[in-house]
């Protein structure tokens, strides 16, 4: 692993951790009776991932540059993110205003977020993004199905807690993999 790969892994894991936190903390309100323990659990998860993040940053800084390293955060990345944002806003508007289903918006957002990771498999050269994409889409479908079947809590809780769990798990796997690959690098 060269410095560029470590930086890419750190950036993508930081994004996953931050958005996972957003999903988690947005879902906490759906379980008022367990609000405080869920808040604490979310903070513990973010701090644990932050610790792995800092360790990999320190090791990555000591790595030599990789020959021919490229930056995957270029135009194709930007296009994938822009298309995701358009789909999120357009779909949310249709669900809320046209179909009168605002409760379905979190599942829609998570589905679109999941799908936007599919081009990253090729862009970043990592199948981890395919796993992330399908797991997020699966959580979104489960949340929507449970909500449609009458489990009102599922509209918010399943995409929130499930999305966070997936994003945090994939971020942790990536960070731990990066730490394994840089095990001999001085800190």
Confidence of residue 74 (pLDDT cuts 50, 70, 90): confident
Among 8-17, 21-30, 41-50, 150-159, the minimum mean pLDDT is found in: 8-17
Q: Is residue 187 part of a domain?
A: no
The whole-number average pLDDT for the span 91-102 is: 96
Residue 13, pLDDT score: 92
Confidence of residue 148 (pLDDT cuts 50, 70, 90): very high
pLDDT at 78 over 80: yes
Domain count, the chain: 1
pLDDT at 76 over 90: no
DSSP letter (8 states) at residue 186? -
Percent of the residues in the chain that have a pLDDT greater than 90, as a whole number: 74
Residue 58, pLDDT score: 86
Global confidence as pTM: 0.91
Q: Is residue 77 part of a domain?
A: yes
Q: Is residue 82 part of a domain?
A: yes
**Contact (CB, 8 A) for 91 and 70:** no
Q: What is the DSSP string of 52-106?
A: HHHHHHHHHHTSPPPTT---SSSHHHHHHHHHHHHHHHHHHHIIIIIS--GGGHH
**Contact (CB, 8 A) for 136 and 111:** yes
pLDDT at 127 over 80: yes
Q: What is the DSSP string of 125-145?
A: T-THHHHHHHHHHHHHHHHHH
Q: Is residue 103 part of a domain?
A: yes
Range of the domain at 122: 3-181
Q: Is residue 186 part of a domain?
A: no
**What three-state secondary structure class fits 1?**
coil
Q: What is the mean pLDDT of the chain?
A: 92
Confidence of residue 11 (pLDDT cuts 50, 70, 90): confident
Residue 181, pLDDT score: 87
Confidence of residue 187 (pLDDT cuts 50, 70, 90): low
Contacts for 25 with CB less than 8 Å, ≥ 6 apart? 39, 42
Confidence of residue 22 (pLDDT cuts 50, 70, 90): very high
Confidence of residue 125 (pLDDT cuts 50, 70, 90): confident
């Amino acid at each position: 692993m060269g410095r560029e790969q470590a930086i890419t892994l750190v950036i993508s894991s930081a994004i996953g951790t931050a958005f996972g936190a957003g999903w988690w903390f947005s879902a906490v309100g759906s379980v008022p009776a367990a609000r405080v323990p869920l808040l604490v659990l979310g903070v513990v998860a973010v701090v644990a991932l932050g610790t792995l993040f800092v360790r990999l940053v320190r090791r990555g800084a000591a790595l030599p540059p990789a020959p021919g390293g490229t930056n995957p955060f270029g135009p194709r990345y930007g296009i994938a993110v822009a298309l995701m944002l358009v789909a999120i806003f357009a779909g949310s508007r249709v669900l809320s205003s046209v179909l009168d289903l605002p409760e379905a918006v979190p599942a829609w957002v998570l589905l679109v977020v999941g799908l936007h990771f599919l081009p990253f498999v090729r862009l970043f050269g990592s199948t981890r993004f395919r796993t992330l994409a399908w797991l997020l889409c699966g959580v979104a479908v489960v949340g929507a199905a449970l909500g449609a079947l009458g489990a009102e809590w599922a509209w918010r809780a399943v995409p929130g807690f499930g999305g966070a769990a997936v994003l945090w798990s994939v971020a942790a796997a990536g960070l731990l993999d990066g730490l394994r690959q840089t095990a001999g690098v001085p800190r």
